[in-house]
Amino acid sequence: MFGYQKGQDLEAGGASEPLYPGMVESPDLRWALIHKIYVILSAQLAMTAAVAAFVVKVRAVSEFFVSSNAGFVLYIFLVFLPIILLCPLRYYYQKHPVNLLLLGLFTVSISFAVGMTCAFTSGKVILEAAILTAVVVISLTAYTFWAAKRGHDFSFLRPFLFSALMVLILFSLIQMFFPLGKMSNMIYGALASIIFSGYIIYDTDNIIKRYTYDEYVWAAVSLYLDVINLFLSLLRLLRALDS
């Protein structure tokens, strides 16, 4: 299924050490799943970077979205399209190739939103946010694998992260109707960065221990959303500081 050499007895377990204490499944199978998830995630991030760069470099694209009624309506549609696509993606995430088609549409729609945000942000701030995001993601991923190896479990974070996310969404809605200024943007960006850093640890822990072999698409979507939201949060924080 995952491209192993003929004759390798995966069910009996390979030479790899267990990823965490008490692991009963084959470490080689789990590593194959992890590899597949991160390959998909890398492709999503590469697509996002390419689409966002196109929107930023081709000024006519961003100007169309902000200077015309048709562009504004299309932009609103693209903003809500990922939420709409999550429903069929959740239903078909195990059905190939529909899951990959929906995943591609989902990634492109988010990429346009990221590009529109970057189009009105200085290049220095974008670079700083990208570097910080890469450092945080790599560091937290390495930490989670290290912690899992030593028996730590992060499933307890779920209710706390969900509650914090609800507060963050409510705070964002309040800002839409009652703008609170530069300081509120800084606070929002800092809190959101912490929350989505926690989600990276939580979702990485789930990839190591809980996601099944048919849930690779949904696992990649979860981690992709964590990384993108972390980047946007840092971008918002740095943009407020830069102004």
190-194 CB contacts, 8 Å cutoff, 24+ apart: 190/233, 190/237, 191/164, 192/168, 192/229, 192/230, 192/232, 192/233, 192/236, 193/136, 193/230, 193/233, 193/234, 193/237
What confidence tier does 5 reach under pLDDT thresholds 50, 70, 90?
very low
Q: Examine the pLDDT at 118 and tell me if it is beyond 50.
A: yes
What is the pLDDT at residue 83? 87
**What is the rounded CA–CA span in Å between residue 121 and residue 56?**
9
Tell me if 199 sits within 8 A of 84, measured CB to CB. Answer: no
**Cis preceding linkage at 159, omega within 30:** no
Alpha-carbon distances, residue 114 vs 22, 47, 83, 127 (angstroms): 41, 11, 15, 14
CA-nearest of 232, 231, 203 to 218 is: 203
Which residues lie closer than 8 Å to 96 by C-beta, 6 or more apart? none
Tell me if 164 sits within 8 A of 188, measured CB to CB. Answer: no
Tell me if 231 sits within 8 A of 129, measured CB to CB. Answer: yes
What pTM does this model have?
0.87
Which residues lie closer than 8 Å to 11 by C-beta, 6 or more apart? 26
Q: Beta-carbon neighbour count of residue 195 at 10 Å?
A: 21
User: Residues for the chain: how many in total?
Assistant: 243
pLDDT in tens, 18-72: 888 888 888 999 999 999 999 999 999 999 999 999 988 888 877 777 777 777 7
Collapsing DSSP states into helix, strand and coil, what is residue 150?
coil
Compute the average pLDDT of residues 232-241: 91
**What is the rounded CA–CA span in Å between residue 66 and residue 88?**
30
Domain ranges of the chain: 27-242
pLDDT in tens, 69-101: 777 787 788 888 888 888 888 888 788 888 889
pLDDT in tens, 138-173: 999 999 999 999 999 999 999 999 999 999 888 888
pLDDT in tens, 187-230: 888 999 999 999 999 999 999 998 988 899 999 999 999 999 99
